[in-house]
Structure 1
Amino acid sequence: MAKRLKNKLQAGFSLLEVLIALAIFSVYATAIIFRVSNNVTGSMQMAEDITLHNLAELKMNEVLIGNKEFTNVTENEVDTGKFDIEGYKEFQYEVKIRKMKFPDLTQIMGNSEEENQQDQSNNAIQKLIFDKMKKNIEEIIWQVSVTVTNPATEYSYQLNSWINKSNVKIDTNFSF
């Protein structure tokens, strides 16, 4: 009987075993809590990103559908304001309209001015054609950039689109 009582007293865990088990558990619990908090933060940022994207898309569609005439007057025009949508009245937007800027032929070709002067006859024709194309492309293609900002978090989202101006008269006179 004394032997049976002695075995029952020794059947539990020692203090060292309990401390090791608690240390292992705390490491895993900390890792899980860290992962869950990162997932929650990521989900909140993704939700805000989706909201800002939808608002930017809405404003972009307003510009595209608005049949706005793109002229030199509207070039570098910036339209700012706040949304007039319930629940999003604090969100700010900025719409920029710009002409496409095309680089010079020398920048595209990678030639210096000296190299260009050596082959003038061929370059004169190339330059004439390139300058006409550059002028036409810069008149036809415009960029609309919409930036939406949440002032509460200072997080912003930018959406860009290229628009072709369909009523432009293209200069096709390539007389040499």
Structure 2
Amino acid sequence: MPGKQRTTLLCALHDLLGNRTALQDLEDKLLHVLDSGIWGKMEGPGNTILSNLQDSSDSPVNGYITGFLYLLEALAALSDNQHDLLAQSLEKKILSQQLKLVKSILETNFNQFHSTFILPPEILSLIDEELNLSLELVEDCGLQLQRTEQMLILDPEGKNPLCALYGALSCLLSLSED
């Protein structure tokens, strides 16, 4: 997808973060497009996203729609607070570090029950505000942070939201990269 189109999609999506109704309406519209091939219209940022996912001949670009649906489903699994944190992360351009954090947690702990995880150096090198933002994002998945030891304790119940966060971060980072 061309860079300008990705940037437009990302800006419109940023405006929708935190508005669950609008995100659900967009998901419903995109599912309708896949089923019927009929685009329709929406109000506000949702319409911007629809028009950017549509090619010049008004036929769906199924790969883009499917990818965007994946992102919307991942976002639906996250809390409102995480939506706010993701919006801030987009502005601070720290998605890459956050994705590395989530990936490293999942890679080392996915098949274990109640495990601990030491924070990677690239996360600890973030400035305080960015570090706190990143840690709060993963803590909302059910992880507990022991700040004195810079360790996270992963509860098995936190794996599903953590996987959703990984998917959302991956898609958002893909949209934000040049």
Is TM > 0.5 for Structure 1 vs Structure 2? no
> Structure 2-normalised TM-score?
0.26
Q: Which has more helix, going by share of residues? A: 2
Structure with higher Rg: it is 1
Q: Which has more strand, going by share of residues? A: 1
